[in-house]
Structure 1
Amino acid sequence: MARQSLVEATVERMSDDVVDGPFLPGSELPPEADLAERYGVSRLTAREALKVLQAQGVVRGVRGRRSQVAPTSEWTGLELLLRSTSRRPGEESASLQLVAVRRMIETGAAELAAEHAVEADLTEMAAHLADMRRAHASNDLGLFVRADIAFHDVVLRASGNVFLRVVMEPLGRLLHEARTETSSHEPVQRNAIGEHEGVLAALRTGDPAASRRAMESHMDQTERDLRRHVLRQPAGAPASEAPMAR
């Protein structure tokens, strides 16, 4: 195994121990020699893996003491942060915060797309929407999720702002799993198809305000379905008060 892949594999195993224990946030890590023995690697490999986690804010060095696992509020690695918060009791708001981030970015993207989208963009969105309908009818969850994500990718591209896609790209990888979980519920697929139809119809008018409202409606639907079908919250549950939420 190449050295780089060995380091990556060690980072993955350390990450699992951070997320699932025994190395939870706030705890001290064992000495490098013990970590190397635990993962069956050299001390140099263990040290390099620690450096990767330090760069993501997951591990912090303490002068004169062993390294510590930092609080999740200091982590910058999105994938590991999502894994951690989604698996711990009382931190289910992570998925709601991701919807809030989508809301902030994608409503603006829809507003811009109304002004900049060309007919080819609208035709491509319609094709992805047709795939969503076909996937729903044939109970093909994988196709449904791929078509859903592809629809939103076209909206981001059609906005004409290259930074929006760069900002959303890492979130897209995280949201694929979340969308698969939510869309596994048949009513969610029906709701999503209706909302995507509304977004496309608004974009066809070229009205920025209407397009923003349509995407806002879609984000409302996404949050409602997440609360009801995944988080199992009662109807009328209060909106998240997390800092990222609207």
Structure 2
Amino acid sequence: MYDAILERLLDGSTPPGSSLGIDSLARELEVSPTPVREALVQLEHTGLISRVALKGYRVAAPLSSEQLAELFDMRTILETAAVERAVSQVDDLVPELRAAHARQVLCAHRVRKLRGADGRPTDFSDLREYFAADWEFHLTIIRASGNRFLLKTAESLSAHVHRLRQTADHGTTDLEQAVDEHAAILAAFESGDPERPLVAMREHLAAVARRVSAAG
């Protein structure tokens, strides 16, 4: 239920401010109200929805420009720290990072094939798989840092990354650029130069921030 409702939040079918009724969602999804209620409680913690007294749940507004700046500041602090620690594990990391990037490339290819006349994907399940593959590339590096608290913090940010995509035209506008920038990060790790991955990650996050600001 969590994934089913999340898909509605991110594919544009339930825009910010929309009501989310437990009973109506249960009828549409053909389930009892209990799992819907539980999913909405989980989603409230992500910030994607909010509970309004006596009115139920509503889809939250997209991240503000100030919130976006804070999110990218946090990601830059966290992910550059992870890169600095992961370079010592480059022999183990590179094969896993290659696999993660290959999956992202495949998912990006599927999304491109499903784009409609307006340039947006016509099947959100493939787009959701692409989002997961994109984030998994980053998590692969963070796991290689060997710091469980960095990883736990990154996992807690995943919901806010969902909100970032909600803000930036559902995350479809920078698919090609993100794939290319991840390839540059992979090449930097493959080079054996401990400084290049740090530079590549900083450039990637800065580029994503610029694209999100332009889209907003």
TM-score by length of 2: 0.63
| 1:117 alignment partner, one of 90, 94, 98 | 90
Q: Segments of 4+ in structure 1 off by > 4 A?
A: none
Matched to 2:107, the amino acid is A
Evaluate the alpha carbon distance shift between residue 166 and residue 183 of structure 1 in structure 2; reply closer, same or farther with a 3 A threshold. same
2:83–2:198 contact (8 Å) kept in structure 1: yes
| 1:100 alignment partner, one of 73, 79, 90 | 73
Q: Hey, what's the Cα distance between the residues in 2 that align with 1:137 and 1:15?
A: 35
- Structure 1 residue matching 2:143: 3-state secondary structure: helix
Q: Give the CA RMSD over aligned residues.
A: 3.1
2:100–2:140 contact (8 Å) kept in structure 1: no
Matched to 2:97, the amino acid is M
Q: Hey, what's the Cα distance between the residues in 2 that align with 1:182 and 1:113?
A: 30
1:113–1:155 contact (8 Å) kept in structure 2: yes
State how 1:16-31 maps to structure 2 within 5 Å: 16-17=51-52
Give the gaps of 5 or more residues in structure 2.
1-32, 112-125
Q: Percent identity?
A: 27
1:114–1:205 contact (8 Å) kept in structure 2: no
**Map of 1:128 onto structure 2:** 100
Matched to 1:174, the amino acid is H
Tell me if 1:214 matches 2:200.
yes
2:139–2:154 contact (8 Å) kept in structure 1: no
Q: Hey, what's the Cα distance between the residues in 1 that align with 2:148 and 2:170?
A: 28
Question: Bigger relative contact order, structure 1 or 2, given CA contacts below 8 A and separation 6+?
Answer: 2
The alpha carbon displacement at 1:182 in A equals 5.1
2:62–2:163 contact (8 Å) kept in structure 1: no
Tell me how many residue pairs correspond in the alignment.
159
Q: Hey, what's the Cα distance between the residues in 2 that align with 1:193 and 1:39?
A: 42
Evaluate the alpha carbon distance shift between residue 162 and residue 39 of structure 1 in structure 2; reply closer, same or farther with a 3 A threshold. same
